[in-house]
Amino acid sequence: MRALEDLNPITAAVYFLAVSGIAMFSMNPVLLVISLAGAVLFFLVRNGSRSAASHLWMFGLFLLLFLVNPLFSHNGATVLFVLNDNPVTLEATVYGAAASVMVVSVLYWFRSFTQIMTSDKLLYLFGSLSPKLALVMSMGLRYVPLFSRQASKIGQAQTALGLYKDDNLVDRFRGGVRIFSVLVTWALENGIVTADSMAARGFGCGRRSRFSIFRFTSADFLVLTVTLLLFASAAVSLGSGALLFTYYPSIKPPDPTPLALSGCISYGLLALLPSILEAEEKIRWTCLKLKI
């Protein structure tokens, strides 16, 4: 079995839509914790200890969202304490924690999505539906890191010329404005060059041909089928109200029915699916290297 990154883009896109869709449209804390655990585990399996600082930013965002809701929303029947004549309730606190977990987990899923779904994969997905839209999306994704690298080059050149100093706030502001002005000019010139290059290659003159290196294999069919089955089981449990978690006016968890239990288990397997595929790929690769 191949890792999620090596599968067909259709399979990967359907998986991310399924796992993030359940997380975005559910406020059940069990499903949200499962989503966060699966998203963080998948990110760690893929990246290891890299980008450790980004986890601190995510934790800071979690704390911010967690504190905002009970301070500004005073709904709920259970008052924990009173702050400046405003009651802080247990229900608002739990709801804020659940909402913050939902936001952070979805952000982690989309971080993995941006790593796996590269511009060529997005072009493959949207190329058959709308070639022009696919081209615009591909070029837009390309220009984000391109602009970042160009801005860094311009800033280094400005610093080497001695036009501003880093320890002076006024000079830093002037340097930033100058970098932005040069970057805008470069972007306009680069856009004209790109347009001329596309016109010289006959873009828009006739029906476009389409080439793709991606193939839909039996592994893609298997993973896609498992994804859809697990998503359908979790969606049925969620849509039927078996996983409905009530926060206001008082906290009321859903009854532990077989339908609710099957929904949680299905979503747990769905959230762990890419980590299982990634771990299996690494274990198999390690075994092959040991045989050399």
3-class state of residue 113 by DSSP: helix
pLDDT grade for 18, boundaries at 50, 70 and 90: very high
Residue 208, in any domain of the structure: no
Q: Are residues 52 and 101 located together in one domain of the fold?
A: yes
Q: Residue 261: what pLDDT?
A: 93
Q: What is the mean pLDDT of residues 231-239?
A: 92
Same domain, 15 and 98: yes
Domain tally, the chain: 2
Taking only the tens place, the pLDDT of each residue in 274-287 is 988 888 777 777 77
Which pair of tokens denotes residue 233? Answer: 């089981």
In this structure, the answer to whether residues 36 and 110 fall within a common structural domain is yes
Pair 165, 266 in one domain: no
| Residues 42/112, Cβ–Cβ less than 8 Å | yes
Residues 225 and 102 in one domain: yes
Whether 268 shows a pLDDT value over 90: the answer reads yes
Given 150, 168, 200, the domain boundary residue is: 200
Tell me which residue of 202, 272, 239 sits closest to 40, measured CA to CA: 272
Residue with tokens 């790109």: 194
Taking the CA atoms of 24, 26, 29 and 30 in sequence, report the sign of the dihedral they define.
negative
Last residue of a domain, one of 143, 175, 200: 200
Rounded to whole angstroms, the Cα distance separating 276 from 45 reads 10
Residues 33 and 143 in one domain: no
**Shared-domain flag, residues 137 and 193:** yes
Highest-confidence range of 86-90, 97-101, 245-249, by mean pLDDT? 97-101
Q: What is the mean pLDDT of the chain?
A: 83
- The single-letter DSSP state of residue 74 is -
Q: In terms of domains, do 113 and 249 share one?
A: yes
Band the pLDDT of 86: cuts 50, 70, 90.
confident
| Average pLDDT over every residue of 205-224 | 79
Task: Using alpha carbons, select from 94, 116, 109 the residue that is nearest to residue 267.
Answer: 109
Res. 138: pLDDT tops 90: no
Angle at which helix 258-291 crosses helix 9-24, to 10 degrees, equals: 140
Structural domain boundaries enclosing 257 = 4-122+216-291
Q: Which residue has the higher pLDDT, 54 or 266?
A: 266
Q: Is residue 33 part of a domain?
A: yes
Mean pLDDT of the 4-19 span: 89
| Amino acid 219: pLDDT | 86
* In-domain check, residue 233: yes
Establish how many alpha carbons lie within 13 A of residue 135's alpha carbon, considering only the half-sphere containing its beta carbon. Answer: 10
Residue 198 contacts residue 131 (beta carbons within 8 Å): no
Mean pLDDT of 13-19: 93
Q: Which of 140, 171, 200 is the last residue of a domain?
A: 200
Average pLDDT over residues 147-157: 85
Measured CA to CA, the distance from residue 51 to residue 189 in angstroms comes to 34
- Whole-prediction pTM: 0.76
Residue 166 forms part of a structural domain? yes
